[in-house]
Structure 1
Amino acid sequence: MKDYLEFNNNLTDFTCPHCLNAYMEIVNKNEKEYISSLKKRQFSINDEIEFDDRFYRGTITGQMKCHRCQEITSFIGETRFYVNYYDDENDKEVEVEEKVILFKYFVPSLHIIELKEEYPEEIRSVLKESFSLYFSSYSSCVNILRVLLEELCLLNDIDKYNEEGNFISLNSRIKKLKTKLNLNDDTKTLLFALKWIGNEGSHSLKNIKKDDIDNAYIFLKELLDKLYPKDFSEYMSRAKEIEKNKGLSKK
């Protein structure tokens, strides 16, 4: 999911967190601009030098409205200038400066992956908490996803302490979970991949990149869909009925 939007573009590709059925449009934004003296020192620029967009900083708040349900979602973010390069009609590279909004928080939080009804409420709750951190702190977000693995173990009666009261590592609990649920190697790989990404979030603020967190959610969605598949029994009964009748039954 993109974490930015061109400043002058009010149409977003964010799905409404209220109805989950339509995209939202920015209907109000309030920006405060200032020049970063810290950045000036970094570039050794004298105060008398003309304003340079490299030193520009901005904070922004606003609201988005859903095109379908009309509900409002609020956001907080930062504004920045970036330089992009395009080829003009003569195939000459042109430098274009663009102002963008970098989103940090949404209220209510956007859904990064679908919260399926098949998922236990405990899992849905942890996912919602992770969603709230997706735009503001990658390391904190993936650390919450590691907590989700602990919750999966607890939901399957695999405690973090043994009968003697000794702590059981998450690594060992995941192995127990694989055995207890008879998980295949691919599912086990997803569990351990998420654990290692979560560990990175716990031990370093710099190692986690946006691609890492997006991959973590892809892994997680695949894992949860395997563990909590959609109940297809009603549809299968209907399919068997059609097969038996050699066609659609007449009413």
Structure 2
Amino acid sequence: MKFSRQILSSSFSLDKVPGWTCPWCDKSAVSGKKDDFRIIESVQSKSQHSHPEWEPFRITGTFCGTLICSDENCGEQVVVSGLMEVEERGWCDEGEYFSSYEEILTPLFFVPAIKLFNIGNNIPIAIKDAILETFSAFWQDLSTAGNKIRKVCELIMNDKKIVKTYIDKNGKRKEYSLHTRIDFFGKLKKGEREQKAYGLLMAIKWIGNSSSHVNNSLTKADIINGLEMLHHILELLYDKDYMRIYKLGREYNKKKGPLKHPLFGTRHL
């Protein structure tokens, strides 16, 4: 599954429900029709209807709906819920102004959680679990999502055997900061893929740091950027097909011609 920024950054209307990747089969999309959703106007919103300046665009509330996988052999169902507001859509026709109102839905919860990108089979289980936590947090709280992405970077450093602690001058064991560990990774791992990952890891660390500040200026775009960088880091460090093609290229450059023996088995052909 390719990383899709659009599906993460947009609210939607019932006339065009997005198709998120099914959390079970990882192939087809889960989506819904208008009748699969229930719109609930809040009590506070209803109380404003009697106000002399009330307009339909002031309506707010919540929604819940059911999404179903398009693959009949799968049929997984996902419950989605979140916030509802009404937007006015205006247009002019032959000098006359017209308008209509549309319910706009912003998802906050998916059960089971949907995957924002594919997690490869080669990803260690601890890292995979932390990524899934990030997916859930993304819809609900930006600061939590930023901290979760930072945690994934820490687990990647653990998996790559980057030293975690040291003994200070008083003989006490202390932990290295994530910044220092990423620096160690950049100095110890000299491969092209590792060096590319190094810069992305450091960038995500800054997003994570901002998430911990009380008055942070973190935006949804920042978290989406962090997720996209994380997706590429996983490709660089864990995708065997990605690594295989680079190794293949190096071998041809080394031989400066055809290879005498196949570098990989026929399953890659």
TM-score by shorter chain over 0.5? yes
Q: Secondary structure at the match of 2:139?
A: coil
Question: Paired residue for 1:34, among 32, 35, 42?
Answer: 42
Q: 1:53–1:81: 8 Å Cα contact kept in structure 2?
A: yes
Q: CA RMSD in A?
A: 3.3
CA distance in 2, matches of 1:80, 1:151: 39
Q: Secondary structure at the match of 2:166?
A: coil
Q: 2:162–2:185: 8 Å Cα contact kept in structure 1?
A: yes
The residue identity in structure 2 corresponding to 1:57 is: T
Q: 2:22–2:114: 8 Å Cα contact kept in structure 1?
A: yes
Question: Paired residue for 1:14, among 14, 20, 24?
Answer: 20
Question: Paired residue for 1:225, among 235, 248, 252?
Answer: 235
TM-score between both structures, scaled by the size of structure 2: 0.75
The verdict on how the C-alpha distance between 1:90 and 1:216 changes in structure 2, with shifts beyond 3 A counting, is farther
* Residue 53 (str. 1) matches residue 52 (str. 2): no
CA distance in 2, matches of 1:93, 1:224: 51
Paired position in structure 2 for 1:97: 101
* Residue 150 (str. 1) matches residue 154 (str. 2): yes
**What is the Cα deviation at residue 180 of structure 1?**
2.4
Moved more, 105-114 or 202-211: 202-211
- Aligned residues, how many? 235
The verdict on how the C-alpha distance between 1:52 and 1:156 changes in structure 2, with shifts beyond 3 A counting, is same
Question: Paired residue for 1:121, among 113, 125, 134?
Answer: 125
**What is the Cα deviation at residue 116 of structure 1?**
0.7
CA distance in 1, matches of 2:30, 2:12: 12
TM-score between both structures, scaled by the size of structure 1: 0.79
Paired position in structure 1 for 2:173: 165
The residue identity in structure 2 corresponding to 1:106 is: F
The verdict on how the C-alpha distance between 1:182 and 1:56 changes in structure 2, with shifts beyond 3 A counting, is same
**What is the Cα deviation at residue 150 of structure 1?**
0.9
Paired position in structure 1 for 2:188: 180
CA distance in 2, matches of 1:159, 1:47: 65
The verdict on how the C-alpha distance between 1:26 and 1:151 changes in structure 2, with shifts beyond 3 A counting, is same
| Structure 1 residue runs without a partner (length 5+) | 41-45
Q: 2:29–2:69: 8 Å Cα contact kept in structure 1?
A: yes
* Residue 62 (str. 1) matches residue 62 (str. 2): no
The residue identity in structure 1 corresponding to 2:182 is: I
| Structure 2 residue runs without a partner (length 5+) | 1-6, 253-257
Identity %: 23
Q: 2:142–2:211: 8 Å Cα contact kept in structure 1?
A: yes
Q: 2:57–2:101: 8 Å Cα contact kept in structure 1?
A: no
The residue identity in structure 2 corresponding to 1:174 is: I
* Residue 23 (str. 1) matches residue 29 (str. 2): yes
Q: 2:58–2:85: 8 Å Cα contact kept in structure 1?
A: no
Paired position in structure 2 for 1:201: 211
Residues 38-79 of structure 1: CA distance to partner in whole angstroms, max 9, x if unpaired?
x97xxxxx9642543343221112211111021101111111
CA distance in 2, matches of 1:206, 1:193: 16
Q: Secondary structure at the match of 1:110?
A: coil
